[in-house]
Structure 1
Amino acid sequence: MMQFLNPPVNSLSLHFLTEFAISLEKLKLYRSCRGVIITSTPPKVFSAGLDIYPEHCAEFWKAVQDAWLKLYGSTKVTIATINGSRPAGGCLLALCCDYRIMTDNRHYNIGLNEKQLAGFQLVPEDKVLNTASETMMKWLAVPDHALQINKSMMRKCTIDKLLANREADTTNFVSFFRNNLDVFQRSLTSTGK
């Protein structure tokens, strides 16, 4: 199980995303590890979202791309157990997983209506990890090669598209970010960051 732990609210910083991608890369080496459950250590928040700084926005976006590529392209079974609020980056990482189990708590926000679009299983708060373990066992009943072929067939086109346009994607992000920096700064000021 991989647990988010970037106090106080698991924001996806450049450092955190880099470490996350490295951890996923290391897991590829362990053939005995067939699945990964991603969750949060702090209660009530899965991830507070992206933690972007203007001076590192290009490196930051490349780290987002790396984390996305490693998680979305993983040959392992990936399950997100969402035990708190999850806007922006937290939602992105959850949507990269094969399966998502979310706390059925109206006080936790996901931002838009992704839970209606992306196949989230809602369970009581105290059942999230048990449900994830049970779900993982069902997924692991599928032979590895069948799962890997299926995931590759479904995801290869999307992964290849990002890889082919990675620099343009980064350039577009940096341009958008810098052109809207005043909006981002006002947003950070109003949230007390």
Structure 2
Amino acid sequence: MNRLVWRATIYSCRLTINRHGVRQFSSGAKKILIDTNTDTGVCKMKLNNPHANSLDRDMLDAAVKAIRDAESSPQVRGIILSSNSDTVFSEGLEGKEMYRRPREHLIDYWTRVQDLYLSWYGCSKPTVAVINGYTAGAGCAWSLMCDYRIMRTGATAAIGLTEAKLTPPASHFFINLMRPAINNKASELAQLQETMFDSSEALKIGLVDELDSPDNLMNKAETRLKSLMGVPAQDYRKTKLLTRQPHLNKLSGMRKQDTEAFVSAVTNRKTEIGLGIYVNACAEIERVYLDSASSCA
């Protein structure tokens, strides 16, 4: 596996546990915590998956349901997507969902990933992503599905589409998300080199729209969202879908072929070896941290 993906694996695994050995997520089964202010119409969604907000099947189901519910609710006028962790937004695809899984499982998993793209990128209401930590691969892609991105400053904040090489060519709709944000050449190089950008670099190239301190991220997100909500809803929807509908239609028309490409990619021997390293490294690092926490208790 590429050295940058390996580094990202170790880093994202470590971020799921703080220095006291306590997970930085709320307990319970809810993968996404939702809070809607019916007076303002602002719906806040916080990712809450203990495994670094990785996109396992339950998280994907929760994400799709949450945005569809928000889309259909007359009480919701705009959505803020953030994380319930202080240091990680999302590490992206869940390796265990892809590693040595039967064909039926892989088809089911990728269908849910496609649903995430179609529902979030196709949402007609304003969406703002608050990138309050490290985010890679499909986590980066998820933020790019939103209309506006605000990222925290600091050493733990990094963003990149590192999974573009993990599942070629099935992730073409993820790759295409980066192109409107940065120019085609820069997008291609970032994906070929699996580059992770710190917050200042991400702002410079246009991968995110604003930066702020961790303490002020949500305030800035609400201000920006309310500005977007000030545009008449019908005008906003028409303009947004005018640019996005061709991409949505493309995936909708080739979901089966796209899924077959994904299955072929992750069952390739070379990719399978890389996924094995990824999954085993995560498991081992988490085991060491939990053992250390238990011994200190």
Give the TM-score normalised by the residue count of structure 2.
Answer: 0.62
Structure-1 separation of matches of 2:222 and 2:260: 40
Aligned position for 1:75 = 124
Q: Alpha-carbon deviations, 1:121-150, whole Å to 9, x = none?
A: 111111110000000111011111110000
SS in structure 2 opposite 1:76?
coil
The residue correspondences of 1:48-87 to structure 2 (distance < 5 A) are 48-51=91-94, 52-53=97-98, 54-55=101-102, 56-87=105-136
Aligned position for 1:96 = 145
Candidates 58, 68, 89, aligned match of 1:15? 58
Structure-1 separation of matches of 2:152 and 2:109: 29
Give aligned pairs, total: 193
Q: Alpha-carbon deviations, 1:76-106, whole Å to 9, x = none?
A: 1010001010011210110000000000113
* Structure with max Cα Rg: 2
SS in structure 1 opposite 2:248?
helix
Contact 2:117 2:145 in 1 (8 A): yes
1:119 CA drift (Å): 3.6
Structure-2 separation of matches of 1:122 and 1:59: 37
Partner AA of 1:184 in structure 2: L
Is there any run of 5+ residues in structure 2 with no aligned partner, and where? 1-43, 161-194, 285-297
Aligned position for 1:123 = 212
Q: Alpha-carbon deviations, 1:4-31, whole Å to 9, x = none?
A: 0111411110111011101111112212
1:113 CA drift (Å): 5.3
Candidates 219, 233, 238, aligned match of 1:149? 238
Q: Percent identity?
A: 30
Candidates 145, 157, 177, aligned match of 1:108? 157
Aligned position for 2:249 = 160
Aligned position for 2:295 = none
Contact 1:100 1:121 in 2 (8 A): yes
Structure-2 separation of matches of 1:57 and 1:120: 34
Give the TM-score normalised by the residue count of structure 1.
Answer: 0.94
Structure-2 separation of matches of 1:101 and 1:117: 11
Contact 2:124 2:240 in 1 (8 A): yes
SS in structure 2 opposite 1:2?
strand
Aligned position for 1:186 = 277
Q: Alpha-carbon deviations, 1:97-118, whole Å to 9, x = none?
A: 0000000113222133573243
1:63 CA drift (Å): 0.7
SS in structure 2 opposite 1:68?
helix
Name the CA shift for 1:7/1:113 in 2 (closer, same or farther; >3 Å).
closer
Is there any run of 5+ residues in structure 1 with no aligned partner, and where? none
Partner AA of 1:156 in structure 2: Q
Deviation larger for 89-98 or 103-112 = 103-112
Contact 1:8 1:42 in 2 (8 A): no
Q: Are 2:69 and 1:26 equivalent residues in the alignment?
A: yes
